[in-house]
Amino acid sequence: MLPFLTQMRLEDATHEYAELTKKLLKGIENLSSLREEDIEIGVTPKEVVYKEDKVVLYRFQPAVEKPLGIPVLIVYALVNRPFMVDLQENRSLVANLLKLGLDVYLIDWGYPTRADRWLTLDDYINGYINNCVDAIRQKHELDKINLLGICQGGTFSLCYSSLYPEKVKNLIVMVAPVDFYMPKALLNMRGGCSLGSEALDIDLMVEALGNIPGDFLNLEFLMLKPRQLGIQKYLDFPEIAGSEDKVLNFLRMEKWIFDSPDQAGEAYRQFLKEFYQQNKLIKGEIEIGEGKVNLNNLKMPILNLYAEKDHLVPPESSLALEKYVGTDDYTVHSFPVGHIGMYVSGKVQRDLPPTIVDWLTARSE
């Protein structure tokens, strides 16, 4: 007889089976009563203030009578939807920033279609981001606004701030990759920071597919932690099935994870080849349109936020920023979580928003 069977009493096994059955029945009851609108994400009230092609600029409804005079524009990554910063009422970076007195804007990149196959980083940075910044500057009659760039959006914000320093008052980057040569990080390896025969053939991918499917990127991210992200969380589901709140949290995360836009082919090609494979950002060799990105042009105050257990953007990749910027007002702050924990961890949501607001308030003059 197998050892574990000899150690399990019949009454214990029966009790565990009964408890599991109760949880599953409660879970079925919870799932059958949920509606599509119950798992809605991006719930904080907002209005459209600018539209261009598929890009939409939102302004969230301020939560205080007199918000900080200089608004902040959140620039999210092209990968995944930007509403991870506003996942649900009690787990929303946006809602917490509003409560602490910020005036918050957000760029929604939309869903690229075949018509967007030829969009480049020039279109995204010199086009969409710059036009959104100008729309906010015009609305508030300001020369400069604050930028908060997240993940790939943080890298874009670094490029933008280098090209348009006269329009950026303060720059915050959060879990943003800067030094892409991270040979021990799986995402960087698969992105191709190794060259030669092992490198991902980006040109072949783009030529064959046009836009890069969001499902491909999803699979790539899941394969970084296949057991945890692809199997274990579903095995653990019966343990939370009896709680409607936990089921809703689970489903909102699932909805966000698998709601992945395709990537415009040319923009994807340039980002993977020049940032990942050739690590041009820290070399000062990135060209966006007719402008060259030089991180030394970043003379404005910078707050660099990173996650200590980030498996997508290793801390070393973000921390490299300090070596290349030209500002004397540089602050770095870490949080003991992974990449996603920066958005959904209760402890981080307690500490992160005041860190941002206090830092901006001290530099609001």
Hey, what amino acid is at 213?
P
Question: What's the CA angle centered on 106, arms 182 and 328, to 5 degrees?
Answer: 55
Specify the length of the chain in residues.
365
Torsion of CA 238, 239, 243, 244, to 10 degrees: -40
On the 0-12 / 13-18 / 19+ scale of CB atoms within 10 A, 182 is: buried
Cα separation of 232 and 236, whole Å?
6
Question: Annotated active-site positions, please?
Answer: 151
Pairing of strands 72-75, 46-52: unpaired
Cα R_g (the chain), whole angstroms: 22
DSSP three-state, residue 272: helix
